[in-house]
Amino acid sequence: MGAAYWKPVQSGTADGDDDTRDVGRWAGLAPSRLHPPRYSLGAPLAPDQAAALEGLRLNLADFALPPGPGPLVVEGAGGLLVPLNERETLADLFAVWGLPLVVVGASGLGTINHTLLTLEAAQRRSLRVAGVLLSGPHIPKTGVP
C-alpha cells in the first residue's frame, strides 16, 4: 500500500511492548514510514489508566495526525470505546479525524458479538467503516445451520 504507520497511544512499554517497532518489522516498513506514538505509557493498561499512573491526562487536543505523503494507517489501542480520559474515547479521537475505520477482530469465540458491538458503536457515532478484518487461525464451518 505504501502506507505509513502510527499508533497515537502505546501502553505496556514497561513490559517491552512496542507496536511501532513490531509493525515496522512485520511489514518491512522503512523507518521514515513509522511515526512514534504521541504517548508511550509504561503500564499495560487502558490509555486513561496508564496515563494517570504517570500523572498525565490525555485530551483530544493532544493529538494531531502526523504529516506525510501517501496513506496513513492509524492503529487504535484496544477498541473504539477504550477511554482516553473520563469523558473521551478512541472513538471520539477517530471522529475528530474523520478517517475510515477498518475493524479488526480475532477469529475466535466471542468475535461475532465483539465485532458487531464495535460496528454498532461506530454507526452510532457516524464513523465510516471501510471494512472488517478477522485475524487468526481459520475456523472451519461445523455444518450446523
DSSP E strands in 1-86: the ranges are: 4-6, 9-11, 34-35, 39-41, 72-74
Q: Which residues pair with 41 in a beta bridge?
A: 11
Measured CA to CA in angstroms, residue 47 lies from 41, 84, 94 at distances of: 8, 6, 15
**Active-site position among 7, 51, 80, 103:** 7
Question: Quick one: which of 144, 85, 136, 132 has its CA closest to 106?
Answer: 136
H or E element, residue 104: strand 101-106
- Give the whole-angstrom CA distance, residue 94 versus residue 76: 9
**7 is a catalytic site residue:** yes
For the annotated catalytic residues, the residue numbers are 7
